Structure 1
């Protein structure tokens, strides 16, 4: 584990005995066996400590003048948890922020098992691991796969270099085609920052991007070859430019902001019906959709990631379809299934045009940027929901043998 701790009291970073105690206690609590700790104090300030472990080693290098410490914890075996050691050390030192990177060294080829549906998983072969960390909200992994640099959250693939543009264009392009103007956009989730970039490319003058997990957003900016760059994210965090990044609960933002938007994008991992207390479920609920509707300008559009349309795993999409129609009416919901096939999207229009697909096809040529993966035929063919969704039912195994 490679970590940068920031926002630490300079006096703490210059107190070598306090550092020794904090490092030793964190390592022992994380299951490591500390053999010896050596320290070197520098003038006029700063210190380096190295702990020799039965499992390998750990080190701290401090810069009191910057309130920062660089920490490395390298372990082998199954009993010592290097990430836990880093987080305990950060807590003991009172760090305001922590940035983590993971480097895997040695061992057999690594894999990740992604849950797909009950009784079915998908196994990913991982190349280089760029980042692995447990944030306060989720497990984040960024690694090379056959699809390029890939983001996983809680072991579920969220985006990959090879297909991310297909996903994000399917999410955003129909929404911007359904509105007469796109000047103000709210993005909830979507840690990579691609939607913010698409919104600006479409002419948005102001984008509020609200995400609950700063660790994940910053890791994406550092390691993904798409979305925010570190410099672009830093500017957005300073609110320097059209994109303003806010770290917090998207539901609270919608409930308490007085702002209104042309487009609201809710881009989250799949709803988790088997985990009723999962925080993200609240952002799929009908009452939240209604609050988003009330934050739209006349003619505005709400879009949400709605799940997978495959018959054998479409439960979340079926539930989202019901809720959208409850909030926006049967004529106010537009469906689009991504060519990436894993996801589909629902667009809620409080004041829908008579023929939404015709409107989108007509406006596509005038869009400020040319989509890579969407043309008029896409808008014609991919906007028809599967029959199992339209009729809200499952199908019998054999048409002549069902009860």
Structure 2
């Protein structure tokens, strides 16, 4: 006899902060806000129960056709703790939380997602046409859909791992290998490294490496504030919530700005010794994707215009594997069109490649850095800066 499918659901737990006390003590308003958020997320509200407590605080519980949701408020702290549990695909609990936070004027400080029932979670990562990689997931630390991307932070065989739009971006066990290959050769290629601009790279590891390599100013620009804050809250590397808060205030050498990287580069401001562009892969098959604006000749030329004399631009450029190197070949051509000199760097992590462009690249001498890399030595710099023949012969 065939067994019926197991119940499958998502349980989202969220901490909301910075809410006006009067809003958190308004029973009728909270009932309406929760009902509207759930309905807007596709859920069917069957019953709502609410109770006010003395001297303050409210609990609202919703019985859903899909399961349940609740809000518990602490007006004296400006906080509300929320949970939304839905089964099936009809309702989106993450959207319900986002809508509720918007209705209350809240800051969404933490979101945790727990899969309930069913089989262990998986991410099927697209690699190239007709080829995928499957990641088995353990505990899900965070799942959120922002205006720009779907974010997932979960345990995998590589430790706590960040996925954006189902593409793995970094993982606990190998993140330093990736970030050192991205930044250290670029820092060595520059004549100075006091002023650094980072576009993307939401984990914050590059900002920390830049300071370790001697930077006195790091402007970190990322369009997706939710992604940066989720990484700080849940990844065991990069920013912590405390160091991120300091960078958001501008306390210290790192300053975080939630802004469009393209507009930042084209705007007024300082010139930089090193500009780092660390984004998910180019999407040539998706003309509407906002990432593609930062993979153009024009953007590279704008970056070049913001460099100091002897400055460099480094960008994540895709994979060197012969069967998926189309974006790398396109980036190689763009860099050679824009810069007098181009240097290739191949990472030992996940087939990533990076390109460094400048007018007069310095020799790769590790002795000039105050930082001792963990995964890069002189032999790495000799071996991994030789571009594949498919590039050299272009």
With normalisation by structure 2, the TM-score equals 0.93
1:15 and 2:26 equivalent? yes
2:334 to 311, 317, 323: 323
Deviation readout 1:208-242 (Å, 9 max, x if unpaired)? 10011111111111111111111111111111111
1:149 and 2:156 equivalent? no
- Say whether the 8 Å CA contact 1:3–1:70 is kept in structure 2: yes
**1:226 equivalent in structure 2:** 237
- Say whether the 8 Å CA contact 1:90–1:98 is kept in structure 2: no
2:209 to 176, 194, 198: 198
1:265 to 266, 272, 276: 276
1:376 to 361, 364, 378: 378
Deviation readout 1:163-222 (Å, 9 max, x if unpaired)? 111110100000111123211111010000000110111111111100111111111111
Question: Which region of structure 1 is more displaced relative to structure 2, 25-34 or 91-100?
Answer: 91-100
**2:8 equivalent in structure 1:** none
- Say whether the 8 Å CA contact 2:120–2:136 is kept in structure 1: yes
**Number of equivalences:** 383
2:193 to 164, 167, 182: 182
**2:226 equivalent in structure 1:** 215
**1:401 equivalent in structure 2:** none
Deviation readout 1:39-63 (Å, 9 max, x if unpaired)? 1212333211111223332111123
2:111 to 100, 107, 110: 100
With normalisation by structure 1, the TM-score equals 0.91
Unpaired runs of 5+ residues, structure 1, are 354-358, 393-403
Partner SS state of residue 117, structure 2: coil
Looking at structure 2, the residues matched to 90 and 192 of structure 1 have their Cα atoms a distance apart, in angstroms, of: 24
Larger relative CO (CA 8 A, sep 6+): 1 or 2?
A: 2
Partner SS state of residue 121, structure 1: strand
Q: CA deviation at 1:96?
A: 4.9
Q: CA deviation at 1:244?
A: 0.5
Looking at structure 2, the residues matched to 7 and 233 of structure 1 have their Cα atoms a distance apart, in angstroms, of: 18
**1:136 equivalent in structure 2:** 147
Q: CA deviation at 1:24?
A: 1.7
Looking at structure 2, the residues matched to 64 and 311 of structure 1 have their Cα atoms a distance apart, in angstroms, of: 58
- Say whether the 8 Å CA contact 1:191–1:211 is kept in structure 2: yes
Partner SS state of residue 114, structure 2: coil
Higher percent of residues as strand: 2
**2:41 equivalent in structure 1:** 30
**2:361 equivalent in structure 1:** 352
Query: Which runs of structure 2 are paired with 1:364-403 in the superposition (5 Å)?
Result: 364-392=366-394
- Say whether the 8 Å CA contact 2:312–2:361 is kept in structure 1: no
